[in-house]
Structure 1
Amino acid sequence: MPIELSYNPWSSCLEVLDQMLRQQETSDWLTQWDLQLRFQEWFRGLLQQNDPRNTCQDHRSLLQRSIRYIRDHYNQPITVDELAADTRLTRSSYTRQFKEMTGKLPLDYVNTIRLERSKQLLQLTDDRLHDIAQNVGFSNEYYFSRRFKQYAGISPGVYRRHYRQEVRVFAPYLEDFVLALGVEPVLQSAHHSWGKQRYLGLDHIPEFDVTRQDAIFNESHKPDFILLNAGHTRWNLERFKHTVPTFYVNHQGEDWRSILRSTADVLGKGNRVWDIVGTYEEKVREAKDLLARCTQGKTVAFLRISATQIVLYGVKHGYVGPVMYGDLGLTPHPLVQQWTKEERRIDIRPEHLAQLHADHLFITFDNVDSVMHGEERKLLDTTEWKQLPAVKRGHVYEVDFLSWMNYGVISHGKKIDDILRFMA
């Protein structure tokens, strides 16, 4: 007795059948074998679409199944129409819901899986780029190389070379990420007022003063390449790009995980990222649980103080807020959110400071505008400062400038250590 089966969308069904019909005349047994496997996969999808047990499945579970399918079949031809049909959604609805669940468009997600797998093959094998491209599902080596460079910031060949040998890198104000990945930079950045990032423990590494426009590389410490973030324009460091290969990390500082992944790609250390992030997140969980028992809803604020400014840092953005309020769940004083809104930081006047009745204040001093030694601390002698509730109770905590005014897993770990030391 014949059974009626439906396929949605029908145009996709016709396209697949037409492709298989054009290939069936081949005499090559491997092509015939591939054709049989593809037909069985297509027929399996047809049966799944018409399985009455699937009619009650919600779209989320179907999308999860679709994601599993992509992970298992990333090296095969995949179209959005086929993926949408398997979930019984229209192409536009499937694309929208897929992005809501994964943060990526379907084909971008497919390419991410392919590129991550290609990184593993570049690390572990000596296969030609052509073979790796074919293995992970790209149609040709040139398209693969272009997509890989867009994704990782460097070509597949450079990625493989960096992974297999020690590299000499100069990464001004990205040393936190480089060191977290187990690589010591050949030089460390320094600032004429701020000094060097002592929290990284790189005292044995020569300094390079980024504020000196005439600074050049000593031949014995010349890097193989330079890694720059968005702040490089401040120091005019792109002046070296014609003599030393230069790579750029364009993520916002708050997205430190993406910066870490991009840095790992350039250094050939992609296999370390998962452990580093996992260790940090475990540290956050333990600290958050402890602070929740100790703080009992007490409010917190963070100030950066110089000779000319009082800077209040916001809740969602910047060096401090995502860790203090986001990761650790501390409660910002209401004025912190009200004044900063979506800004990373704002300047406040001494008369406004008097309204900041936070239970706990974290502060750091910036000496960049100081004419005389210690001038940045003159605020501490004012009436507005002495009348603050946190000052009266002894709940003001001074922290290291550069470890708090930085992004990176080491920097953020230091912030957590300081917060626990003072508040737990």
Structure 2
Amino acid sequence: MESMSPCLAEQRSGVLYATVVHTGELPGEMLPEGRLKHHLLVLVEDGRARLEREYAGFVLFPDSCWLLLPGERIRICDEGEPPLRCRAVVFDVWRVRQAEENDAVSEMAPAALEVAIFPFSGLLDHHLAHEVRRWMDSSAQTDISQEHRTFSLSIRFLDVLLKILQSSTERQESKDLREAIQKTVLLMEQSYAQQITREELAKLANMSASHYSFVFKREIGKSPMEKLTEIRIRHAKKQLLFSDRKLRDIAESVGYRSEFYFSRQFKQVTGVSPKEFAHRHFAKHVEISHPFPLHMQSLGLTSGSSDRSNDRIQVVGLYVEDFLIALGVQPILKCVGNNFRQSYLNAYLNGVEEWSILSFDFSVIADAKPDLIILGHPEYGGNGRFARFSEIAPTYSIRKGLHHWEHGVRIIGQLLNRLPQAEAIITYHEQLLQKARTQLAIVSHQTVALIRICNDRRIRLYGGPEGYSGGVLYQDLGLKPSASVLRLAWDKPSGYVSVTPDVLYELDAEHLFIVVDPAGQSYWNQLAGDPRWGRLPCVRANRCYEVRFDIWMTFGIIAHRLKLQDVLRFLVPPGRALPTIVYK
């Protein structure tokens, strides 16, 4: 053990005074366990170990450096060969303040010391670990006097602590800025139909307008108004492709009072006018097997059955049964997979024969004699299967899949020549959402997240603003995503990010929805049995809600209304939730 002189580090509340108690090798038999009495800097030289802290577990790996605080209950478990080898610095921190009249201090040192805690803990960045290593290496110098060496090491240790403090402050400031910017992007996603100014967004971010614009462009890569325009044009594209609304109505629905200004903005962003875009791009969304117009002729009715009522059309829809039922069309087969069945549709599909997407038995479809086949995802038509389907009946394949309930209602409605019914469904659903948002205002300040426990033992954290769950939670209902959702999963192309159990046990959401795949239950039982799970604030507050896999992992409009019921049932006090929503 080697005692060192004190060192100083400034802070806004005063001056921090650090006393090094020990520095040197930390043998395996001396690995700390229990509550720490001092601050501890651990630099791992070799081997691997498990660091158990009160709220989570972490891996100690070579060249990593950890700062742990007094009062923490920790345990370091060596994981075998090679054995863990590390160096450590044990130190205390004090705060220096001006002495008051009743303080017992000497005339030579008119100041008082208070025990203090260093305002950072956890894994240090690599460059800071390098600074700690350099300081430890320099402590072995013997070519100078003891007094000179002690004083020099004290000053240099001060510099190391100061760099750690500065890095922590910069990291927190950067995190706060990102969260403030994401908060304004979320407002844009939820309120793009309203008039939004840069000044209003800057006020929400608690910045001046000019500073907000600077930070926004640095974080997002474009100005706030460019981002808002991008969001509005994205929503306008959906309506242009999958609705027959007038251009004026589309412009107003995405926040433009002038149809002409909307058209000018649309062309500036896309390079073509709205009408030209709609004409060019429908084929990019739907692959069509037969070269004839849409609407009545595109229903796939043969010449021998063209006088048949549209209500009696025979349709096979691979995972679009939800939309078919909502639009009043009974599918003649129901699609099933290995682990995914749309069980929530059982009441509507009673007696309908199943068709396995795993075997692709085309004889079953041929025997059903469909007038029209709709493939809900392009992969269903891969490997030559689209041609096989087309030999049986006119076939449509949704090129990029159905990525939003509104997108699904409109495109299936157009393929079935039922756009008026589709628009009525959308209008009614938007009315339900408005009522739901009003009732959910009581929890609007609380954060929400959704995780999925997959069959392959993966954990997915779902983001937003679109996707299976994000579209409902954060866009449709306007709920507040947790910081971990914004930091890790927000705006991911896949709609989610895979996370480790360690991240799961650190989720900061006040309300957590949990989806468990059919074959993921045993893994979920294992995760939920870990003591760290029980220490999560949302678990202790009984705010974790397990919801059905088949409902939450699909875009169907009926499924989305069932999701709406789930959210209201869990988050709104009893007696205030909307009535059960079903299709007659």
- Please report the TM-score for the alignment, with normalisation by the length of structure 2: 0.46
Question: How big is each residue's C-alpha offset from its partner over 1:68-117, in whole Å with a ceiling of 9 and x where there is no partner?
Answer: xx979xxxxxxxxxxxxxx9x9xxx99524657999715438979xxxxx
Output the CA distance in 2 between the equivalents of 1:265 and 1:161: 20
1:297 aligns with 2:445: yes
Question: How big is each residue's C-alpha offset from its partner over 1:368-422, in whole Å with a ceiling of 9 and x where there is no partner?
Answer: 4x5xx74543222122322211111111111111111000221111111000001
**Which of 269, 273, 284 is 2:422 aligned to?**
273
1:243 aligns with 2:392: yes
Q: 2:310 — aligned with what? A: 164
Q: 1:414 — aligned with what? A: 562
**Which of 291, 306, 315 is 2:464 aligned to?**
315
Q: 1:131 — aligned with what? A: none
SS in 2 for 1:217: helix
1:387 aligns with 2:538: no
Question: How big is each residue's C-alpha offset from its partner over 1:273-327, in whole Å with a ceiling of 9 and x where there is no partner?
Answer: 121001100000000000012x141111001113511111012231010111111
Output the CA distance in 2 between the equivalents of 1:231 and 1:350: 33
Q: For 1:17-166, what aligned pairs fall within 5 Å after superposition?
A: 96-97=264-265, 99=267, 105=273, 107-108=275-276, 148-149=293-294, 155=298, 164-166=310-312
1:230 aligns with 2:398: no
Segments of structure 2 that go 5 or more residues without pairing to the other structure are 1-244, 248-257, 281-289, 573-584
Q: 2:353 — aligned with what? A: 206
**Which of 488, 493, 497 is 1:339 aligned to?**
488
SS in 2 for 1:406: coil
Give, in angstroms, the shift of residue 243 of structure 1. Answer: 2.5
SS in 2 for 1:171: strand
1:174 aligns with 2:320: yes
Give, in angstroms, the shift of residue 210 of structure 1. Answer: 1.0
Give, in angstroms, the shift of residue 262 of structure 1. Answer: 2.0
1:366 aligns with 2:517: yes
Q: 2:334 — aligned with what? A: 188
Q: 1:31 — aligned with what? A: none
Counterparts in 2 of 1:256 and 1:156: CA distance versus 1, 3 Å:
same
Q: 2:238 — aligned with what? A: none
1:355 aligns with 2:523: no
1:404 aligns with 2:572: no
Counterparts in 2 of 1:328 and 1:311: CA distance versus 1, 3 Å:
same
Counterparts in 2 of 1:162 and 1:290: CA distance versus 1, 3 Å:
farther
Contact 2:489/2:496, CA 8 A, preserved across alignment: yes
Question: How big is each residue's C-alpha offset from its partner over 1:162-217, in whole Å with a ceiling of 9 and x where there is no partner?
Answer: 87351111111111111110111001111222334334522322111212244641
Contact 1:178/1:185, CA 8 A, preserved across alignment: yes
SS in 2 for 1:195: coil
Counterparts in 2 of 1:226 and 1:359: CA distance versus 1, 3 Å:
same
SS in 2 for 1:311: strand
SS in 2 for 1:268: coil
Counterparts in 2 of 1:104 and 1:153: CA distance versus 1, 3 Å:
farther
Output the CA distance in 2 between the equivalents of 1:240 and 1:378: 43
Output the CA distance in 2 between the equivalents of 1:336 and 1:382: 22
Output the CA distance in 2 between the equivalents of 1:156 and 1:191: 27
- Please report the TM-score for the alignment, with normalisation by the length of structure 1: 0.62
Output the CA distance in 2 between the equivalents of 1:243 and 1:156: 14
Letter of the 1:354 partner, please give it: Y
Q: Which has the higher contact order (CA 8 A, sep 6+)?
A: 1
Structure with bigger strand share is 2
Question: How big is each residue's C-alpha offset from its partner over 1:347-369, in whole Å with a ceiling of 9 and x where there is no partner?
Answer: 1101111220211110111134x
Counterparts in 2 of 1:102 and 1:200: CA distance versus 1, 3 Å:
farther
Contact 2:449/2:513, CA 8 A, preserved across alignment: yes
Contact 1:186/1:206, CA 8 A, preserved across alignment: yes
Counterparts in 2 of 1:411 and 1:154: CA distance versus 1, 3 Å:
farther
Contact 2:447/2:482, CA 8 A, preserved across alignment: yes
SS in 1 for 2:318: coil
Give, in angstroms, the shift of residue 220 of structure 1. Answer: 5.3
Contact 1:315/1:321, CA 8 A, preserved across alignment: yes
Output the CA distance in 1 between the equivalents of 2:376 and 2:502: 36
SS in 1 for 2:396: strand
Output the CA distance in 2 between the equivalents of 1:287 and 1:224: 39
Contact 2:444/2:479, CA 8 A, preserved across alignment: no
SS in 2 for 1:242: helix
SS in 2 for 1:241: helix
Counterparts in 2 of 1:363 and 1:275: CA distance versus 1, 3 Å:
same
Contact 1:367/1:376, CA 8 A, preserved across alignment: no
Give the RMSD, CA atoms, in angstroms. 3.6
Contact 1:253/1:318, CA 8 A, preserved across alignment: no
Contact 2:404/2:466, CA 8 A, preserved across alignment: no
Output the CA distance in 1 between the equivalents of 2:278 and 2:464: 34
Q: Which has the larger radius of gyration?
A: 2
Q: What percent of counterpart residues are identical?
A: 30
Output the CA distance in 2 between the equivalents of 1:195 and 1:243: 25
Contact 1:340/1:346, CA 8 A, preserved across alignment: yes
SS in 2 for 1:411: helix
Aligned residues: 299
Counterparts in 2 of 1:104 and 1:397: CA distance versus 1, 3 Å:
farther
259-268 or 197-206, which moves further after superposition? 197-206
Output the CA distance in 1 between the equivalents of 2:502 and 2:564: 30
Structure with bigger helix share is 1
Output the CA distance in 1 between the equivalents of 2:432 and 2:329: 22
Letter of the 2:515 partner, please give it: T
SS in 2 for 1:258: helix
